[in-house]
Chains A and B, each alone.
Chain A
């Protein structure tokens, strides 16, 4: 059975690359480009894993932390990897404190991302 994956990033070019990569590695991929879209998806679909940028443009002030919070509220068993260009200790600690399973620093290496994903959701 394929792992159900939600990719959340407002950089659509990067997201498309990630989607293609994970799709070719036994993942069933869906994408969201805004925090609001991601949260609505989490409320109405099942995901085993979410990979989200922490920085998402939103006039409503929602970001990757909002996605984290929603996932913990509505899908507490799902895993989440978050990443950010801000790698100071405070951001990392906050991400893990809010329920993130993994924190990665940008720029991302797809192979590293896959290794982390498979560690959280081992291939069946």
Chain B
């Protein structure tokens, strides 16, 4: 019998879309990281991402599915014509149980010509089983590779304080359950304040994910969170759209001699040797001067979203 897992693992079954993470400043928003999001085989129940990853966990096939998703993503990323900082989701279970995962990924990154400094691991953990020692070793290996770490779904299920202490992540991605209607809920605002203080003291940077409305965006901004992802700026886009936006950004950047760049550590407020180009090498002042050009290209958000 052909199981869903067989269909997921079939060559070419998985596809990747990309959702930018934006950095806000006084005048606008600039994409700094591109999150790779997997879509399962069309026409199966796993074409819903939630079903795909829930199923992988229930089948104890996290590593198998993570590898397939990452291989599909990097195959697409390899077609991008200049450095883009990307983030890849990976189950903590994969890091713990799959001893060969990081060496395998290293080879794949080399084939894709992807500099480890342009990669952030978004660690997902909804399971209860935990092997702290194996996880710690994997984290050390990730850092030795030169990649960044984000803890995903903070505020949800098992992405708890223990994980934060273990991961010492550059980024804490606040789950949508905290962001949803935070503009109307003083309790959520209290959480944003507290998590902001925590992140500051730990030397991590908060990313608000699932920001959908102008009002949520303003609330997030008011709590000094300047890394934002969500429909308010852009839905996930196809690789073709990334190519198109890349072209637009390059043409608007023109012949300017000074390129604005950011590193993941700069985004995280850290001082290290990481050197990361901004997503589309767009100078800050160019984005600020012509926000309508950029936002029109992303499709969904209105230019006013960039005006503060």
Q: Is there contact, CB below 8 Å, between B4 and A33?
A: yes
Q: Bound complex: CA of A75 vs CA of B51, how far in Å? A: 16
Q: Is there contact, CB below 8 Å, between B51 and A60?
A: no
- Between A and B, 22 residue pairs with Cβ closer than 8 Å are A30-B45, A33-B1, A34-B3, A34-B4, A35-B58, A36-B4, A37-B4, A37-B45, A37-B51, A40-B45, A40-B50, A40-B51, A40-B54, A40-B55, A40-B58, A41-B45, A44-B50, A44-B51, A44-B54, A45-B51, A60-B59, A60-B60
Which residues from chain A sit less than 8 Å from chain B, CB to CB? 10, 12, 30, 32-37, 39-41, 43-45, 57, 60, 62
7 new A-B contacts, CB < 8 A, other than A40-B45, A43-B54, are A36-B59, A37-B55, A39-B54, A39-B58, A41-B45, A41-B51, A60-B60
Q: Which of B41-65 contact A (CB under 8 A)?
A: 45, 48, 50-52, 54-55, 58-60
Specify the chain A residue showing the minimal Cβ separation from B50: A44
Q: Bound complex: CA of A93 vs CA of B259, how far in Å? A: 71
Q: What size tier do the contact residues of chain B reach? A: 10 to 19
Q: Is the interface of B mostly helix, strand, loop or mixed?
A: helix
Q: Bound complex: CA of A36 vs CA of B46, how far in Å? A: 12
Q: Which of B94-128 contact A (CB under 8 A)?
A: none
Q: Bound complex: CA of A112 vs CA of B186, how far in Å? A: 53
Q: Bound complex: CA of A9 vs CA of B199, how far in Å? A: 48
Q: Bound complex: CA of A9 vs CA of B11, how far in Å? A: 26
B52: chain A residues at CB < 8 Å are: 40
Closest Cβ–Cβ distance, residue A64 to chain B (whole Å): 14
A36: chain B residues at CB < 8 Å are: 4, 55, 58-59
Most buried by A among B45, B54, B60: B45
Q: Is there contact, CB below 8 Å, between A62 and B58?
A: yes
B59: chain A residues at CB < 8 Å are: 36, 60
Decide: A10 near B58, CB < 8 A? Known: A32-B45, A44-B50.
Answer: no
